[in-house]
Amino acid sequence: MFEASFYTKSEDRSVDCFLCRHRCHIKEGKSGLCIVRENKGGTLYSIFYGRPCAMAVDPIEKKPLFHFHPASRSFSIATLGCNFQCEFCQNWDISQYGRKDGAPRDTCSSEIVPPAEIVRSAQEQGCRSISYTYSEPTIFYEYARDIANIAKPLGIDNIFVTNGYMTREMLDDAKDFISAANVDLKSFKDSVYKKVMKGSLDGVLDSISYMHELGIWIEVTTLIVPGMNDSESELKEIAGFIAGVDRSIPWHISRFYPQFKMHDKQATPEATMELAFAAGKDAGLKYIYMGNVPGAGGEDTLCWKCGECLIERTGFYVKKNLLTGKNSCPKCNSKIDGVF
């Protein structure tokens, strides 16, 4: 185990964690809502530091990030646990460790994998970045930070694929080494966040705005779940919020398929996906993508001004990239936002 950051101690050996926005008050011998940060004798520990449960090399488009070094490779890593309890999580078997109906056992590495070894693996496999993903990276922040501080001076970027429920204190600490983030904006109703995710909406909205303010490249993903967040009014609210932060933030609208505790719902109708796409357009968003809709062409990057297809994708793979050396459209010379 590894002593955690972002907590204060009390005389009764309880601690107050302020890594994420739950800001758990944790009594001695107990853990926070994430399950994986435990108070032992008045000291808070990150119990899976250095013990990844998943490592893989992914195309950056899988994060999904479409405007951050397209077609590059990203070394992806996760440990067990999450500070949300989403009933539709596709990675529930690792994210819901320690909960009823969650991960059945400790599937992390039995040996410590030092941060330097992660970076070396990323280098050996030609990765342009390291992504902290699959589960929620906030809850293994110390491990991610130690990896990132080695990776960044070597020219390897660091990416958080996150639910956005971290504190500003954590983001202030991370701003110098997190280059990009994909943030899930799962609903625009606080009641849904409280019931389904066991969190709150305001914290996520604040993180998106604050990351943008800090200069972190952001893309936002919304999984459209029938009956949960698929009304036209809510889709317009989500799109309007993103546009209010910055119209150049890419919005990934992703089609839901039954997962975890939501096998009672059907896959998102394509008509609903089109409705969300239209909401993004009406809000003035420059880049909107439709995920999990095979053959629709919804993952191509189009020029926001003239509509020219600039980056053509099939699944997570780039088939062609027509951006000029100045990251502009060759047809109308409009600048395309992103890190290319």
The rounded distance, in Å, linking the Cα atoms of 304 and 287 is 7
Same domain assignment for residues 152 and 86: yes
**Number of folded domains that form the chain:** 2
Question: pLDDT tens, 6-64?
Answer: 999 999 999 999 999 999 999 999 999 999 999 999 999 999 999 999 999 999 999 99
Same domain assignment for residues 88 and 30: no
The proportion of the chain whose per-residue pLDDT surpasses 90, expressed as a percent, equals: 86
The rounded distance, in Å, linking the Cα atoms of 21 and 190 is 14
Question: pLDDT tens, 223-250?
Answer: 999 999 999 999 999 999 999 999 999 9
Same domain assignment for residues 156 and 288: yes
Instruction: Determine the average pLDDT of the residues in 251-263.
Output: 83
Query: Does this model's pTM top 0.85?
Result: yes
Instruction: Determine the pLDDT at residue 123.
Output: 98
Same domain assignment for residues 173 and 249: yes
Domain presence at residue 85: yes
Same domain assignment for residues 37 and 149: no
Same domain assignment for residues 20 and 104: no
Question: pLDDT tens, 111-150?
Answer: 899 999 999 999 999 999 999 999 999 999 999 999 999 9
Residue 254's domain spans which residues? 54-299
157-162: strand order across its sheet: 54-59, 73-78, 129-132, 157-162, 180-184, 217-224, 251-255, 288-291
Instruction: Determine the pLDDT at residue 97.
Output: 86
| CATH code (residue 89) | 3.20.20.70
Same domain assignment for residues 58 and 114: yes
Most confident of 84-93, 108-117, 206-215: 206-215
